Amino acid sequence: GAVVSQHPSWVICKSGTSVKIECRSLDFQATTMFWYRQFPKQSLMLMATSNEGSKATYEQGVEKDKFLINHASLTLSTLTVTSAHPEDSSFYICSARERVTPLHFGNGTRLTVT
Amino acid sequence: AQTVTQSQPEMSVQEAETVTLSCTYDTSENNYYLFWYKQPPSRQMILVIRQEAYKQQNATENRFSVNFQKAAKSFSLKISDSQLGDTAMYFCAFMNYGGSQGNLIFGKGTKLSVKP
């Protein structure tokens, strides 16, 4: 079945550095990918919608200069957390849509900023 | 804007018994999808069941079934013969059928504990 691979699964970085998270659709083409953020014991909140070949659409309150999204091909979207701070520590999950449904989720990335 | 409400933050059930998780939503759309996702401690999002709004018949997947009441905007999940492996967070989610790119709107989740 369709699989979405997300890498890395966990990362620890120092405050002020940048971190890149990759989301790949392994056996289907995904013109649209979605990035979610999940704080402990909370639900998933949509951060942005990533469109292949065009600029991402960010949800209200999400800083586009801080969370850079690039969707350079039909199988890869990247989320870069720039100048990370401890408050950016969270669980980040990507998803990709194959046709209308279903949405396939990556395994998530646990980011810890020290 | 669409909203999804799960009014039960936590629930518990004895192994082999049946439990129902509640979900209500608000939308002005007529065509949409509804989903239940399971998130175990590994935090992998696992699709449990989905329902197309235009279908009157309630979706069923083995031990999982839904009670979809479109007029009441209610979408509850029934888990029969509960198993220890069903212990997880359960999220109800909404997605527009057309005119959107397919992002999901999630409820706050219900933490289900299955006790031996």
The per-residue pLDDT string of chain B (116 residues; one tens digit each, 9 = 90 and over) reads 789 999 999 999 999 999 999 999 999 988 899 999 999 999 999 999 999 999 989 999 999 999 999 999 999 999 999 999 999 999 999 998 765 567 899 999 999 999 99
Work out the minimum CA distance from B45 to partner chain A, whole angstroms.
6
Task: Report the gap between the CA of B77 and the closest CA in chain A (Å).
Answer: 18
Q: Across residues A84-113, what is the average pLDDT?
A: 90
Model pLDDT, residue B101: 60
Taking CA–CA distances from A5, the nearest residue in chain B reads B44
pLDDT of A7 reads: 96
Q: Is the pLDDT of residue A91 over 90?
A: yes
What is residue B2's predicted lDDT score, i.e. its pLDDT? 85
pLDDT of residue B100: 54
- pLDDT, residue A100, reads 64
Q: Which of B91, B102, B108 sits opposite A103 (nearest CB)?
A: B102
The pLDDT of residue A102 is 66
* Interface check A108 vs B, CB under 8 A: yes
Predicted pLDDT at B30: 87
To the nearest whole Å, the CA of B107 is away from the closest chain A CA by 7
pLDDT greater than 90 at residue A5? yes
CB-closest option in B33, B91, B101 to A43? B91
User: Which of A41-45, A74-78, B99-103 bottoms out in mean pLDDT, i.e. has the lowest?
Assistant: B99-103
Q: Do B105 and A91 touch (CB under 8 A)?
A: no
Give the least confident one: A19-23, A88-92, B92-96. Answer: B92-96
Q: How many helices (H) and strands (E) does chain A have?
A: 0, 11
- Of B5, B3, B26, B15, nearest in space to B114 by CA: B15
Sheet containing A67-73: order of strands: A4-7, A19-25, A76-81, A67-73
At B70-95, the pLDDT tens digits run 999 999 999 999 999 999 999 999 99
CB-based contact, A47 to chain B, within 8 Å = no
Q: Of the candidates A90, A106, A85, which has an alpha carbon nearest to the alpha carbon of residue A38?
A: A90
Strand pairing report for A10-13 and B105-106: unpaired
Distance CA B62, CA A78 (A): 36
Query: Mean pLDDT for chain A?
Result: 91
